[in-house]
């Protein structure tokens, strides 16, 4: 199948332009439906199409395309269509040298385009698999609800996720087989308003209380410790007027660690009250970690032989839906998408050259799995 990489890359560039042309911030129904319609058009005609409910209430349904074959193995290709860039900041694709610049290009419409191309190639070889499916979700960028698709695909032989690809410091192609767990702590503060000029002593500042909570949580960071925990306050909102002691506010903190269990003590650092301000803290998102190094090593070695160059295992701190599948599909590999940069910004970009090299990697992985 590797000889078809050039065709996959050529079509992926065109489909990337079409997908980036649709603005799809998380939660936007019209954008999600337009992007899903494009992907359905890009699926092989043999594919059965399903629109299962999203994990997030109110989001557009997700998209599944499924092929049936006469082989014995089952493979899941995984991606997401939602982005973090608001409509007002959205940029369609524009080429600048090797860079294909546009909102959502690297996270992760470039990967979606490659995954669709791989599925089309699989449609021509039904003898290689029993089932080959693609799952594209619409809520990956800001999901706080439990992930609902694990059971549906449990027992598949492999999951290949097409988040952004990368190379190692030696320039060798890399795929992701280890990710940190990710958690989000949300803290609400309830104080008492007062005039900040004439009677500040009568108020109870939610802002100051939240600042103290932020300090305590940040002090818990221990990236060199046994759990490699990072705890980073990221959002603080409080106050409505320049001359009023803030009576309420909220704080959001991002947590990462090798295991979710390493994050639990962080909530214990948040007291129920600070200087008369009532504090409420809860974990609103908890994504598991992923470590499939042992299960994927032989597959990477075999894929490297097929492409005739090294293919190395790598680690990434960012969260991915691949982590949700790693527990139910032990042979899970991420980072099969193209290389690029600027994720979560309007100027995201994909390397056009990498569409070919990463198509080679993806097809080599598929070939090594299905012909084993």
- Residue 342 DSSP class: -
Nearest to 236 by CA among 217, 258, 256, 257: 217
Token pair 């439906």 is found at: 33
- pLDDT number for residue 21: 97
SS3 64: strand
- Per-residue pLDDT, averaged over 220-228, amounts to 95
Whole-number percent of the chain with pLDDT over 70: 100
- Assess whether pLDDT exceeds 90 at residue 317: no
Residue 102, token pair as written in the block: 């546009």
- pLDDT number for residue 36: 98
Burial class (CB in 10 A: 0-12, 13-18, 19+), 271: middle
- pLDDT number for residue 322: 97
Nearest to 114 by CA among 348, 366, 368, 369: 366
- Per-residue pLDDT, averaged over 51-65, amounts to 97
- pLDDT number for residue 40: 98
Sheet arrangement for strand 63-68: 48-50, 63-68, 131-137, 74-80, 158-161, 332-333
Confidence of residue 116 (pLDDT cuts 50, 70, 90): very high
- Assess whether pLDDT exceeds 90 at residue 1: no
pLDDT, tens only, 64-108: 999 999 999 999 999 999 999 999 999 999 999 999 999 999 999
- Assess whether pLDDT exceeds 90 at residue 318: no
pLDDT, tens only, 270-300: 999 999 999 999 999 999 999 999 999 999 9
Residue 94 to residue 288: CA distance in whole angstroms: 36
Pick from 157-161, 314-318, 321-325, 334-338: least confident:
314-318
pLDDT, tens only, 173-223: 999 999 999 999 999 999 999 999 999 999 999 999 999 999 999 999 999
Domains of the chain, each with CATH number or no CATH: 2-180+289-370 (3.40.630.10), 181-287 (3.30.70.360)
- Per-residue pLDDT, averaged over 340-357, amounts to 95
- E strands along the chain, which residues? 48-50, 63-68, 74-80, 94-96, 99-101, 131-137, 158-161, 166-167, 173-179, 181-190, 230-238, 248-257, 273-274, 277-287, 290-291, 311-316, 332-333, 340-341, 349-351
Nearest to 20 by CA among 1, 4, 38, 43: 38
Residue 170 to residue 172: CA distance in whole angstroms: 6
For the question of whether the overall pTM of this predicted structure is more than 0.85, the answer is yes
- Per-residue pLDDT, averaged over 324-352, amounts to 95
């Amino acid at each position: 199948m590797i000889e078809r990489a050039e065709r996959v890359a050529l079509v992926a560039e065109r489909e990337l332009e079409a997908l980036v042309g649709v603005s799809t911030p998380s939660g936007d129904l019209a954008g999600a439906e337009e992007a899903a319609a494009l992907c359905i058009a890009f699926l092989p005609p043999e594919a059965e199409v399903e629109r299962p409910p999203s994990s997030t209430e109110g989001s557009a349904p997700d998209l599944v395309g499924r092929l049936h074959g006469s082989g014995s193995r089952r493979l899941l290709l995984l991606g997401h269509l939602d982005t973090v860039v608001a409509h007002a900041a959205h940029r369609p694709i524009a080429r600048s040298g090797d860079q294909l610049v546009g909102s959502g290009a690297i996270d992760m419409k470039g990967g979606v385009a490659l995954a669709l191309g791989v599925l089309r190639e699989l449609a021509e070889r039904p003898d290689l698999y029993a089932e080959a499916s693609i799952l594209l979700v619409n809520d990956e960028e800001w999901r706080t609800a439990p992930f609902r698709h694990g059971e549906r695909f449990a027992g598949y032989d492999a999951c290949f996720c097409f988040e952004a690809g990368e190379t190692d410091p030696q320039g060798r192609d890399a795929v992701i087989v280890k990710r940190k767990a990710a958690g989000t702590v949300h803290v609400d503060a309830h104080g008492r308003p007062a005039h900040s000029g004439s009677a500040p002593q009568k108020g109870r500042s939610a802002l100051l209380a939240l600042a103290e909570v932020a300090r305590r949580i940040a002090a818990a960071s221990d990236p060199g410790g046994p759990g490699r925990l990072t705890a980073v306050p990221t959002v603080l909102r409080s106050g409505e007027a320049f001359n009023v002691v803030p009576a309420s506010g909220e704080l959001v903190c991002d947590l990462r660690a090798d295991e979710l269990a390493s994050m639990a003590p962080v909530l214990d650092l948040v007291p129920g009250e600070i200087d008369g301000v009532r504090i409420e803290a809860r974990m609103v998102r908890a994504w598991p970690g992923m470590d499939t190094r042992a299960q994927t090593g032989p597959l990477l070695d075999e894929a490297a032989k097929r492409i005739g160059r090294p293919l190395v295992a790598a680690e990434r701190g960012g969260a991915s839906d691949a982590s949700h599948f790693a527990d139910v599909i032990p042979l899970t590999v991420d980072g099969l998408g193209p290389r690029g940069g600027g994720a979560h910004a309007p100027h995201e970009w994909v390397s056009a050259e990498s569409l070919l090299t990463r198509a080679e990697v993806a097809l080599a992985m598929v070939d090594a799995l299905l012909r084993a």
